[in-house]
Amino acid sequence: MNIPKYDLLTNTDSTLFRFESIGSNGEISKGIAYTVTKDETLYNLGFGDLIIDPIQNRYIIDDLAVSHNGDRNTVLATVAKSAYTFSEIYPERNIFIKGSTKARTRLYRRAISLNLEELSETFHIFGAMEDENGDVFDIPFDSNGDFYGFIIKRK
Amino acid sequence: MVIFTDLLLNENNMKTLTKNIEITKHAKVNSTVKVDEKLDKIKNIKFTSNKPEEIKKVEFKLSFK
């Protein structure tokens, strides 16, 4: 992807990534976590500000944070880079992407749409829809689709 | 004050962790991915939203057609 990206740090099994967003509001630690869903071949991509809860001595990914750091495209490209890395190591694991809000899910749809040609060189891309029972199924990605989320599958 | 001090210490530790790996913080087209074994210590990350919990309950019926 021909967009500047931040360097990433990852844990040994490449399920957790960390980088520093550098922008108008300073330096903000970001975390990306890939966690398995009920479908053991499908991993959820969780992303947000990486913060420490000093009281309980644990880490939190604040996926509702709005940073306004002026580097949104760089941040999204960096998250995409982590998906390339994760799926290169685990090509059998598919990635589920859903925003923490509907607006963010739409943002991700636009980002996928804008880079669809390049992403499609590496991934099969699907939209995720909910049926009447709340179960989620895949359909081919459509730039105008109103999706519950997205699934990318390494080719 | 104690909590605030702990937070500062933790933040300093995180920055030290980053500096030790010597990553470049400027964005670039060919960015790097480096393993940092210190991240292995981070377990059971919590999320602010309930999205991960919601997704854990979802039944996926995938066909990839």
Q: Are B58 and A34 in contact (CB under 8 A)?
A: no
Q: What is the number of structural domains in chain A? A: 1
**What is the distance between the alpha carbons of residues B27 and B52, in angstroms, rounded to a whole number?**
29
Measure the CA angle with vertex A125, ends A17 and B63; round to 5°: 110
Domain-embedded: residue B47: yes
Domain-embedded: residue B63: no
At residue A57, the pLDDT reads 75
- Closest Cα to residue A47, out of A8, A90, A93? A8
Q: How much is the ipTM here?
A: 0.87
Domain-embedded: residue B20: yes
Domain-embedded: residue B19: yes
Cβ distance of A59 and B39 shorter than 8 Å:
no
Domain-embedded: residue B41: yes
Domain-embedded: residue B64: no
Domain-embedded: residue A4: no
pLDDT score of B8 more than 60: no
Domain-embedded: residue A3: no
Range of A100's domain? Answer: 9-154
The predicted-structure confidence for A102-127, as pLDDT tens digits, reads as follows 999 999 999 999 999 999 999 999 99
**What is the distance between the alpha carbons of residues A135 and A146, in angstroms, rounded to a whole number?**
16
Range of B19's domain? Answer: 2-25+33-56
List phi, psi (to 5°) of A14: 55, 40
Q: Which amino acid is at B4?
A: F
**What is the distance between the alpha carbons of residues B29 and B47, in angstroms, rounded to a whole number?**
29
Domain-embedded: residue B61: no
Residues of chain B contacting A, Cβ within 8 Å: 3, 6-7, 10-11, 14, 18, 21, 23-29, 31-37, 39-40, 42, 44-49, 51-52, 55-65
CA dihedral sign of residues A102, A108, A111, A115: negative
Domain-embedded: residue A109: yes
CA dihedral sign of residues B3, B5, B11, B16: negative
In chain B, what residues touch A60 (CB-CB under 8 Å)?
45-48
Cβ distance of B60 and A18 shorter than 8 Å:
no
- Which pTM does this prediction carry? 0.86
Provide the 10 A C-beta neighbour count for residue A86. 23
**What is the distance between the alpha carbons of residues A120 and A32, in angstroms, rounded to a whole number?**
22
Burial track A27-51 (b if 16+ CB lie within 10 A, e otherwise): ebbbbbbbbebebeebbbbbbbbbb
The predicted-structure confidence for A8-35, as pLDDT tens digits, reads as follows 999 999 999 999 999 998 999 999 999 9
The predicted-structure confidence for A23-82, as pLDDT tens digits, reads as follows 998 999 999 999 999 999 999 999 999 998 878 778 999 999 998 999 999 999 999 999
Q: What is the number of structural domains in chain B? A: 1
Domain-embedded: residue A2: no
